[in-house]
Structure 1
Amino acid sequence: MELSFKHQLGLVCIIVLFPALCHCQEYTKSRATFYSTSDDYGTPTGACGFGEYGRKMNWYDGRVAGVSGLWRNGVGCGTCYQVKCLIEKLCDENGAYLVATDQGYGDNTDFVMSPRAFIELGRDENAYEELKKYGTVEIEYKRVPCTYTGNVLFYIKETSSNPGYFAVVILNVNGINDVTAVEMWQSGEWKALNRNYGAVFDFPNPPSGEIRLRFKVSGMSDWVDPKIVIPSNWQPGSTHITEVQLK
């Protein structure tokens, strides 16, 4: 039982940033369940606001989940976890590596997993079918560094309107880093965007010209400058590749 996915981005210049802090974490006991989709990937309507990108989340290839306590008012969007079930005869020792893309609640669960994530819990396909019969399983989990391929992306939400309204999601945030703030350069100063919901930050009445953003992550003391500007003719639904790659 193996799932594979290839995703490559050709880039000319990369700035690699390393967090100042090292994160170590023990496993936490909890419970997990799963939801169904027509193709076993995640849902594009997840509460993080990732849209179609949230169905697969880069090389994680649909191994995604809705979370409850780990949601943290949207700060937990895009964070990565190792999840292992605890039925020895059925469960794979490495479990599933997945991304939080939604808010989800089950029967005292921390994870509501996509089919492509839940299948990774089992030793093999037969074990997976047995785990499905349980519905909800005992697990242990820990947060792990995200390992997205490529640089940080700025995804401009389809709800944006040029001019008049700007909403953005920051994708491909590697390592153990939470995006805690986003700012836009306007009239000679940095101005804060509002966390609208999930991972979506917005700004009414943005500048009519080019847009310059910077963001802050929990693992670094300084603001992250992506070294790009979003062109003045930006379109809702467009994605812009930065020159930053977090580790």
Structure 2
Amino acid sequence: MARSRYVLVATVLMSSVMVDVTGDYSWDYAHATFYGDIHGGGTMQGACGYGNLFSQGYGLETTALSTALFDNGLSCGACFEIQCYDDPNWCFPGTIHVTATNFCPPNYSKPNDNWCNPPLKHFDLSMPMFLKIAKYRAGIVPVQYRRIPCVKTGGMKFEINGNPYFILVLIYNVAGAGDVRDVKVKGSNTGWIQMTHNWGQNWHTQTQLVGQSLSFQVTTSDGRMVQSDDVAPAYWKFGQTFEGKQFWRI
């Protein structure tokens, strides 16, 4: 049974809008355990910076990633299809879709007894997702997995935190590749400013932008970029969340 540490979750939300993303969707091999309880207790928050996973649209369709998959938080928001593999005593048929929202940290004091230690590829699933592909008593099972496009409802979300001298923006609900790799911000009185990856899917700038409307350019791991102009009006406040454009099919 999984003994989770931090919580990383993954999920895909179905909608009538499809996305067209190019990429390598071949199957690879890993293992999976679970953490939390049947209602998702212990899976909220986490190392990606996402807060209430229900209100943010991720729900219980989530997973934590081991170091080999987490990529220092840049894999947050990526979506995966997973199936239990080659263990008829413990596996159920079918697949699950999950979104990465947390980190399963290594424990180097147990080099031979921790599935999240590098270089192992491992998914620490929410309990409801694990129980869709394997029996509870299995605890840990071999799986096949592959990246899939994320399908979301509505636009990308930008949650603005920090202070007048340090603006921290959490980006979530990203369709397509799902994992953000580059962000630029533009105030109504500035040009485009490169933001720095801080942690999870939080990006920051030390440029003073209070009192200006904000626009964003977001680039995902497949190289696609979406520009959302004037997402936040000039009177935006810290702690507010704004909706931008989305990676819909072109």
Q: The TM-score by the shorter chain falls in which range?
A: 0.7 to 0.9
SS class of match (1:101): strand
Q: Deviations over 1:34-92 (max 9, x none)?
A: 11247325623310001113x5752x531111101111111100000011112235433
Within the candidate set 33, 44, 61, 2:59 is matched to: 61
User: Gaps (5+ residues) in structure 1?
Assistant: 9-13, 123-130
Partner in structure 2 of residue 172 of structure 1: 173
Following the alignment from structure 1 to structure 2, what is the Cα–Cα distance between the partners of residues 7 and 224? Answer: 21
Does the aligned pair in 2 maintain the 1:47–1:102 contact within 8 Å?
yes
Does the aligned pair in 2 maintain the 1:40–1:62 contact within 8 Å?
yes
Flag the 1:38–1:138 CA change in 2: closer, same or farther, 3 A.
Answer: closer
Is 1:30 aligned to residue 50 of structure 2? no
Partner in structure 1 of residue 100 of structure 2: 100
Q: Deviation at 1:236?
A: 3.0
Following the alignment from structure 1 to structure 2, what is the Cα–Cα distance between the partners of residues 236 and 203? Answer: 14
Q: Deviations over 1:121-175 (max 9, x none)?
A: 14xxxxxxxx222211111111111112221111224xx23x3331112222112
Q: Deviation at 1:18?
A: 5.4
Q: Deviations over 1:217-241 (max 9, x none)?
A: 23245x4211333123323332211
Is 1:82 aligned to residue 101 of structure 2? no
Flag the 1:227–1:188 CA change in 2: closer, same or farther, 3 A.
Answer: closer
Within the candidate set 205, 213, 216, 2:216 is matched to: 213
Superposition map of 1:107-186 within 5 A: 107=115, 108=120, 110-122=122-134, 131-157=135-161, 160-161=162-163, 163-186=164-187
Following the alignment from structure 2 to structure 1, what is the Cα–Cα distance between the partners of residues 25 and 20? Answer: 19
Give the alignment's TM-score, normalised by structure 2: 0.77
Flag the 1:190–1:7 CA change in 2: closer, same or farther, 3 A.
Answer: same
The residue type equivalent to 1:113 in the other structure is: L
Does the aligned pair in 2 maintain the 1:177–1:219 contact within 8 Å?
no
Does the aligned pair in 2 maintain the 1:41–1:116 contact within 8 Å?
no
Moved more, 203-212 or 136-145: 203-212
What number of residue pairs does the alignment pair up?
A: 221
**Structure with a larger share of its residues in helix:** 1
The residue type equivalent to 1:132 in the other structure is: Y
Does the aligned pair in 1 maintain the 2:83–2:94 contact within 8 Å?
yes
Moved more, 29-38 or 93-102: 29-38
Partner in structure 1 of residue 5 of structure 2: none
Flag the 1:212–1:175 CA change in 2: closer, same or farther, 3 A.
Answer: closer
Does the aligned pair in 2 maintain the 1:173–1:246 contact within 8 Å?
no
Give the alignment's TM-score, normalised by structure 1: 0.78
Following the alignment from structure 1 to structure 2, what is the Cα–Cα distance between the partners of residues 208 and 70? Answer: 36
Partner in structure 2 of residue 233 of structure 1: 235
Flag the 1:189–1:143 CA change in 2: closer, same or farther, 3 A.
Answer: same
The residue type equivalent to 1:84 in the other structure is: Q
Partner in structure 1 of residue 9 of structure 2: none
Within the candidate set 179, 194, 197, 2:196 is matched to: 194
Does the aligned pair in 2 maintain the 1:104–1:112 contact within 8 Å?
yes
Following the alignment from structure 1 to structure 2, what is the Cα–Cα distance between the partners of residues 62 and 101? Answer: 11
- Deviation above 4 Å: which 4+ runs of structure 1? 5-8, 16-19
